[in-house]
C-alpha cells in the first residue's frame, strides 16, 4: 500500500458526460501528479500540482482540468468524454516539488460507452 | 527532451539475474534516473533511483556509467512474482516535458 488513495475504483459513463476523479496523497506529500494509461499510449503524464498550484503540464487535453485543494487532495475533471478517454487514471504524490520518488495510487478505471 | 529507450520485452527463468538497460542519450545534468515496476491494473511501484555510478537496495541494483547516457537495472535471482512491466524514468521531476515514462520492458519469468 503506497498510502495514496483514489476514488472511485471503477467508473462507467457515456460519451459527452463529465466525471470527477479524486486523489488523496500520502500524508505530508505536497505534490500530486496525474497520469493516464491506455492500451495504445502507455503511461502519459497529464499534470502536476504542488501545494495547491499547477506546476507542470504534460499531454493534458483542454477538456480535462485538475485542481488541488487546501487539504492537498486533488481532483481530475474530465468533460465531454469520448470513447478514447477510456483508460486507467493514476494519481501519484511526492513530498516536494521535484527530485523525489513518486508514490502511485491504485488507479481509477474509466470506461466510456 | 530526455526520451528513453528500453527493450520491449525480456524472458528469464526463476533464479536467474536479469539486467534491463535503458538508453537516455539526452539526459541533462540535473536529471535523476528512476525505475518503476508495474503489475497489471496496478499503479507503478518505485524500485530504485540513482544519479551516477551504482546504487543498491534490498530488491535491485542500478548501474549508471560515467557518461550517464544509459542505465541498467539489475534484478538478482528473479522469481515468478517479478513478472511485470519495468519503466525507466529520466528527469528532474516537476519540470514540464521531463516527466516521461519509457515504453517499458515487459519481463516474463518462467519456472
Residue of A2, A9, A30, A45 to mutate, testing the B interface (most B Cβ within 10 Å of its Cβ) = A45
- A45: CB partners within 8 A, 6+ apart: A33, A34, A35, A56, A58, A59, B99, B100, B101
Among residues B4, B1, B67, the alpha carbon closest in space to that of B34 is found at B4
Nearest CA in chain B to A36: B43
Q: How distant is the Cα of B18 from the closest Cα of chain A, in angstroms?
A: 23
Q: Do B43 and A45 touch (CB under 8 A)?
A: no
Quick check: B2 pLDDT over 70?
no
| pLDDT one-digit tens code per residue, A17-52 | 999 999 999 999 999 999 999 876 678 889 999 999
pLDDT for the residue numbered B96: 47
Q: How far apart are CA B94 and CA B100, in angstroms?
A: 11
Q: Are B78 and B108 in contact (CB under 8 A)?
A: no
| A64-68 and A74-78 strand pairing | antiparallel
pLDDT for the residue numbered A34: 95
Q: Are A45 and B100 in contact (CB under 8 A)?
A: yes
| pLDDT one-digit tens code per residue, B41-74 | 889 999 999 999 999 999 999 999 999 999 999 9
Q: Locate B23 and state its grid cell.
A: 538508453
Q: How distant is the Cα of A83 from the closest Cα of chain B, in angstroms?
A: 19
Amino acid at each position: 500500500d503506497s498510502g495514496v488513495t483514489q476514488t472511485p475504483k471503477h467508473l462507467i459513463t457515456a460519451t459527452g458526460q463529465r466525471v470527477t476523479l479524486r486523489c488523496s496523497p500520502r500524508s505530508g506529500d505536497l505534490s500530486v501528479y496525474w497520469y493516464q494509461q491506455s492500451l495504445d499510449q502507455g503511461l502519459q503524464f497529464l499534470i502536476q500540482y504542488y501545494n495547491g498550484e499547477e506546476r507542470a503540464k504534460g499531454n493534458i487535453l483542454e477538456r480535462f482540468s485538475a485542481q488541488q485543494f487546501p487539504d492537498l487532495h486533488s481532483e481530475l475533471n474530465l468533460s465531454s468524454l469520448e470513447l478514447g478517454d477510456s483508460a486507467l487514471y493514476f494519481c501519484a504524490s511526492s513530498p516536494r516539488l521535484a527530485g523525489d520518488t513518486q508514490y502511485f495510487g491504485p488507479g481509477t478505471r474509466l470506461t466510456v460507452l | 527532451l530526455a526520451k528513453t529507450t528500453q527493450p520491449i520485452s525480456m524472458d528469464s527463468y526463476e533464479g536467474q539475474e536479469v539486467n534491463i538497460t535503458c538508453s537516455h542519450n539526452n539526459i541533462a545534468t540535473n536529471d535523476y534516473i528512476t525505475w518503476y515496476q508495474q503489475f497489471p491494473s496496478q499503479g507503478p511501484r518505485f524500485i530504485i533511483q540513482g544519479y551516477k555510478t551504482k546504487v543498491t537496495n534490498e530488491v535491485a541494483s542500478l548501474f549508471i556509467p560515467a557518461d550517464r547516457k544509459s542505465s541498467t537495472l539489475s534484478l538478482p535471482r528473479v522469481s515468478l512474482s517479478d513478472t511485470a512491466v519495468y519503466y525507466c524514468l529520466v528527469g528532474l521531476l516537476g519540470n514540464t516535458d521531463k516527466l516521461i515514462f519509457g515504453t517499458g520492458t515487459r519481463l516474463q519469468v518462467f519456472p
